[in-house]
Each structure stands twice: as C-alpha cells, then as structure tokens.
C-alpha cells in the first residue's frame, strides 16, 4: 500500500514498493501528473538530508529523484554543484548513498530514481552497482553522462536486476533518436526543458511545450520534464502540455542553501514549496 504523506513512520516494516507503471496509472486515474522532487543524498549532512526527504513525502511527492554527489557534475549548474560539494565534505560516499535510500525505504514505498554520473558506476563495477541499487530499493537509474548508444552494458545490468534504465531527451534530440530511446528506456523518458545545465529559470521556454508534444509522438512511455522547473506555474504548464510528471531540483536545493543556519526553517520552507508544487500537478487535461 502506498505510504500516505501524513502517515510516515520510521520503522523497519517491509513494504511492497510501488513501480513507476503503478504510480503513473494511479495518478492518471485521478487526473494528476507526478511531482518528483530532487535531493542530493547527504546535503547538507546525512540526517538533515533524510529529514528533507521526509518533508517532501509528507508534502505529496509521488516519486523521488536522489542524486549521488559527484566531484565533476557536468550536467549541473552551480546550485547542485554546491550541494554536491556540501555532501562530499560531509563524508557522503556511494555506499552511504545506498544506505540513505534504505533509510527512505523505512518510511516510504514511492518510486525512487537514482541520478548518477557513470564514473561512480564504473568505479564500483557495473553489476555490483545495479545489484546494490536494487537491494536498497531503487526503481530506476539515470546516468546523466551515459548516452543510449553506449549503454548496452548498463541496460543489460538494469534488466538483470529489475531496474528501469532512464534516458534523457532534449530539444536537440532527433525524432529517430527519440524512437531509439523509447526502445531502450524504462520507467519514463526524462525530457530536458531547457538548453544548458540545471538551474532555476524565471520563465519556462515556450518551446518546451512543443518538445513534450514531439516526444509524445515517438514514445508510449510516460514523459517527465526537468531542468529549470522551479515554480508551480511551470509545473502547471508542462502538466497541461501533456507531461506525466515534473522534476524539480535546483529550486529545492536553493532552500537548503538559504537556510543552512536554521534547519527548522529549511524544513518548513521545503514542505510549503513542495505542497504548492504538488498542487500544480492536479491540472492535467483529459
């Protein structure tokens, strides 16, 4: 049974984890898209980061995207780069990242996607990384710097361990490449809303709507939009355009950075903003 936001308990009770397919079906039946907040595991420290995730779940997160901190995150802007530095300086490692996910699984069964850079996977060993991910409770893995054309081994390990391999589609992605991504991906297609790296944008590019509609023509998979999604208005816009989910990262990481000296206020602001973002997913058109 899905853990309700107001029903969080930190226990070791085993749960049946919700799959991406189940989540998207459940939300579609309610006329909603998915709210998927992002957090860097261990930012600003292990325990506070875990409390942040609890606030996200309480506020109605439908799935989670967990980033493992990396020293050279080429797809990320300064906000997430700073979060990675804080987490690494606090002692975060890949093994502690998997421990972090296991702690989340003590209070939530919603889908968890892992965002990593492939160096981390390669260093541990492909099969071991995917095995650890599965055992900790990960549903999907997106390696931000792994193109689908070079992902055969990762896809093989993902299938072996029952994990969805997720890929990105951008404005520059050709229709033929979209078709190829659709054949290789699982869970959903991550649509990159803006050109460039992650980061808060005041306005959402109108071309994002066109991109959502173009991707939709070339894949039966759910579509989730990220990069630059920061405000409820952005979530509502991509939802009305036909997106099945909105991924919000830098806007939430900013709340961590702004309130490092007051953790209680940090958590309060995180909960309030997540509530507003989730509310905006309830505008899905039939």
81: in domain: yes
Is 10 contained in some domain? no
**Sheet (strand 164-165) strand order:** 164-165, 140-143, 112-116, 64-67, 34-40, 245-248, 223-226, 189-192, 167-169
Number of domains in the chain: 1
Q: One digit per residue, pLDDT tens: the chain, 286 residues? A: 344 444 444 333 345 899 999 999 999 999 999 999 999 999 999 999 999 999 999 999 999 999 999 887 676 678 888 999 999 999 999 999 999 999 999 999 999 999 999 999 999 999 999 999 999 999 999 999 999 999 999 999 999 999 999 999 999 999 999 999 999 999 999 999 865 444 344 556 678 889 999 999 999 999 999 988 989 999 999 999 999 999 999 899 999 999 999 999 999 999 999 999 999 998 665 5
Query: Is 78 within a domain?
Result: yes
Asked, for residue 4, whether it belongs to a domain, the answer is no
- Which are the contacts of 4, defined by CB distance < 8 A and separation ≥ 6? none
pLDDT value for 79 = 86
Q: Angle at CA 156, nearest 5°, toward 151 and 159?
A: 120
- Domain annotation covers residue 6: no
> Which of 224, 226, 206 lies closest to 215 in space, CA to CA?
224
In degrees and rounded to multiples of 5, residue 178 shows phi and psi of -60, -40
Query: So what's the pLDDT on residue 11?
Result: 37
Its domain, for residue 198, covers: 16-281
Q: What is the pLDDT of residue 197?
A: 41
Does residue 247 sit within a domain?
yes
Look at residue 76 in the predicted model and tell me its pLDDT. Answer: 67
**pLDDT the model gives residue 73:** 67
Catalytic residues: 65, 76
Q: What is the pTM of this model?
A: 0.90
pLDDT at 127: 96
For residues 186 and 202, give the distance between their C-alpha atoms in angstroms, rounded to a whole number: 31
Q: Is residue 7 part of a domain?
A: no
H helix and E strand count, the chain: 12, 9
Let me know: does 100 contact 42? Beta carbons within 8 Å.
yes
- The strand ranges marked E within 136-222 are 140-143, 164-165, 167-169, 189-192
| Per-residue model confidence (pLDDT) at position 2 | 43
Q: Which whole-number Å values give the CA distances from 20 to 13, 47, 83, 127, 276, in the listed order?
A: 21, 27, 27, 22, 22
List the CATH number of the domain containing 60. 3.20.20.70
Instruction: Give the per-residue pLDDT at 203.
Output: 56
Question: In this structure, are residues 141 and 164 in contact, taking their beta carbons and an 8 Å threshold?
Answer: yes
The predicted structure's pLDDT at residue 207: 82
Residue 274 belongs to some domain of the structure = yes
Helix (H) or strand (E) holding 128: helix 126-136
Query: Which residues have a Cβ under 8 Å from the Cβ of 227 and sit 6 or more positions away?
Result: 192, 193, 194, 196, 197, 198, 199, 249
- The pLDDT, as a whole number, for residue 198 is 47
């Amino acid at each position: 049974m899905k853990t309700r936001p107001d029903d969080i308990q930190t226990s070791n009770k085993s749960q049946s984890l919700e799959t991406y397919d189940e989540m998207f079906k459940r939300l579609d039946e309610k006329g909603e898209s998915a709210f998927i907040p992002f957090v860097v595991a261990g930012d600003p420290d292990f325990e506070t980061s875990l409390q942040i995730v609890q606030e996200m779940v309480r506020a109605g997160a439908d799935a989670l995207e967990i980033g493992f901190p990396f020293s050279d995150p080429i797809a990320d802007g300064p906000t997430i780069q700073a979060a990675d530095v804080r987490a690494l300086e606090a002692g975060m490692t890949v093994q502690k990242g998997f421990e972090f996910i296991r702690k989340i699984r003590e209070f939530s069964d919603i889908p968890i996607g892992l965002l990593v850079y492939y160096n981390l996977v390669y260093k541990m060993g492909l099969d071991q990384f995917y095995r650890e991910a599965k055992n900790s409770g990960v549903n999907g893995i997106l390696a931000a710097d792994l193109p689908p054309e070079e992902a055969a081994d990762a896809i093989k390990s993902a299938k072996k361990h029952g994990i969805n391999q997720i890929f990105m589609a951008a404005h520059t992605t050709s229709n033929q490449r979209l078709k190829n991504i659709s054949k290789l991906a699982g869970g959903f297609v991550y649509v990159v809303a803006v050109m460039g790296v992650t980061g808060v944008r005041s306005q959402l590019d109108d071309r994002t709507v066109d991109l959502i509609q173009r991707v939709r023509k070339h894949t039966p998979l759910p579509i989730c939009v990220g990069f630059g999604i920061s405000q409820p208005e952005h979530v509502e816009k991509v939802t009305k355009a036909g997106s099945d989910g909105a991924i919000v990262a830098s806007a939430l990481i900013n709340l961590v950075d702004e309130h490092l000296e007051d953790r209680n206020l940090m958590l309060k602001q995180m909960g309030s903003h997540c509530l507003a973002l989730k509310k905006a997913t309830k505008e899905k058109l039939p």
